[in-house]
Amino acid sequence: MCGIVAYVGPKDAAPILLEGLARLEYRGYDSAGVAVVNRGLKMRKVKGRVADLAAAVPSRFKGGLGIGHTRWATHGVPSDVNAHPHLDGAERIAVVHNGIIENADELRAKLTADGATFISETDSEVIAHLVARTVKDTDTLEEAVRTALKRIVGTYGIAVLDAERPGEVVVARNGSPIVLGIGEKEMFAASDVAALVRYTRQVVHLEDGELAVLRADGFHTFTMDARETAKETLTVDWDAGHYDTGGYEHYLLKEISEQPETVARTLRGRLDERFHIAHLGGLNLTPHETRAFRRVKIIGCGSAYYSGQIGAQLIEELARIPADAEPASEFRYRNPVVEHDTLYVAISQSGETYDTLAAVQELKRKGGRVLGIVNTVGSAIAREVDGGVYLHAGPEVSVASTKAFTSTAVAFALLALHFGRVHDLSPADGRRICDGLRKLPGQLAEILALEPEIAALARKYAGHPSMMFVGRVRGYPVAREGAQKLKEISYVHAEAYPASELKHGPLALIGPDMPTVAIVPDDELLDKNLTTLGEIRARGGQVLMIGHRAAEAKLADDCLVIPKNETELDPILLTIPLQLLAYHAAVTLERDVDKPRNLAKSVTVE
Ligand code: G6P
d(CA 186, CA 180): 11
Q: Which amino acid is at 456?
A: A
Q: Are residues 28 and 166 in the same domain?
A: yes
- For the chain, the straight-line distance linking the first and the last C-alpha, in angstroms and rounded, comes to 12
User: What pLDDT is stored for residue 245 in this prediction?
Assistant: 85
Tell me how far apart the alpha carbons of residues 597 and 78 are, in angstroms, rounded to a whole number.
Answer: 13
- The whole-number average pLDDT for the span 293-304 is 97
Same domain, 226 and 371: no
pLDDT digits (tens, 9 = 90+) for 231-259: 999 998 877 777 888 899 999 999 999 99
In a domain? residue 599: no
Rounded CA separation 86/159 (Å)? 11
Percent of the chain with pLDDT over 70: 100
Atom 15 in ligand 1: residue holding the nearest Cα: 348
Domain boundary pick from 213, 243, 273: 243
Element (H, E) at 396: none
570 contacts: CB under 8 Å, gap ≥ 6: 474, 521, 523, 548, 564
Listed in sequence order, the residues at least 6 apart from 85 whose beta carbon sits closer than 8 Å to its beta carbon are 33, 34, 35, 43, 45, 67, 68, 69, 94, 95, 96, 128
Q: Which residues contact 58 (CB under 8 A, 6 or more apart)?
A: none
**Same domain, yes or no: 184 and 256:** no
pLDDT over 90 (residue 1): no
Mean pLDDT over residues 39-55, rounded? 94
User: Counting every residue, how long is the chain?
Assistant: 606
11 a catalytic residue: no
pLDDT (0 to 100) of residue 238: 77
Query: 263 in a domain, yes or no?
Result: yes
Question: How many Å apart are CA 567 and CA 584, to the nearest integer?
Answer: 28
In a domain, 600, yes or no: no
Same domain, 278 and 223: no
Which of residues 243, 259, 291 is at a domain's end? 243
pLDDT, residue 57, reads 95
In a shared domain, residues 279 and 349: yes
CA-based nearest residue to 262, from 478, 415, 444, 485 = 444
Domains held by the chain: number:
3
601 catalytic? Reply is: yes
Same domain as 55, residue 116: yes
- The residue among 408, 423, 441 that closes a domain is 441
Give every strand in the sheet of 156-162, ordered side by side: 86-87, 93-98, 156-162, 169-174, 210-215, 218-223, 228-229
Residue 408 lies in a domain: yes
303 Cα: distance to centroid of ligand 1 (angstroms): 6
**Sorting pLDDT into bands at 50, 70 and 90, what band is 114?**
very high
Query: Are 255 and 238 found together in one domain?
Result: no
Cβ of 348 closer than 6 Å to ligand 1, yes or no, is yes
Full residue range of the structural domain in which residue 481 is found: 450-592
CA-wise closest residue to 530 among 509, 507, 513, 553 = 553
Mark whether 457 and 572 lie in a shared domain: yes
Q: Ligand 1 pocket: which of 252, 309, 353, 484 to mutate (most atoms <8 Å of CB)? A: 353
CA distances from 75 to 78, 120, 124, 209 (A): 9, 9, 9, 23
Query: Is the Cβ atom of 302 under 6 angstroms away from ligand 1?
Result: yes
Q: What atom in ligand 1 is closest to the CA of residue 599?
A: 8
**CATH code, 577:** 3.40.50.10490
Give the residue, 555 or 26, on which the prediction is more confident.
555
When pLDDT is averaged across residues 154-158 and rounded to a whole number, the result is 95
- Tell whether 319 and 363 lie within a shared domain: yes
Is 412 among the domain residues?
Answer: yes
Is 391 contained in some domain? yes
Are residues 459 and 583 part of one domain?
yes
| Closest atom of ligand 1 to CA, residue 600 | 8
- State whether the beta carbon of 257 lies less than 6 angstroms from ligand 1: no
376 lines ligand 1 (CB under 6 A): no
Residues 109 and 147 placed together within one structural domain of the fold: yes
Q: Are residues 325 and 351 in the same domain?
A: yes
- What's 213's domain CATH number? 3.60.20.10
Dist. CA 349–CA 357, nearest whole Å:
12
Give the pLDDT of residue 601: 82
Per DSSP, which regions of 178-307 are E strands?
179-182, 187-190, 202-205, 210-215, 218-223, 228-229, 234-235, 271-272, 277-278, 295-300
Is residue 454 in a domain? yes
The preferred substitution site among 602, 604, 606 for testing ligand 1, maximizing ligand atoms within 8 Å of CB, is 602
Q: Kind and range of the H or E element at 243? A: none
pLDDT tens figures, 121-132: 999 999 999 999
- Residue 26 included in any domain: yes
Per the prediction, the chain carries an average pLDDT of 95
d(CA 579, CA 434): 25
The confidence band for 3, taking pLDDT boundaries of 50, 70 and 90, is very high
pLDDT of residue 552: 87
Lowest model confidence (mean pLDDT) among 127-131, 135-139, 182-186, 262-266 = 135-139
Question: Exactly one of 47, 487, 564, 601 is catalytic; which is it?
Answer: 601
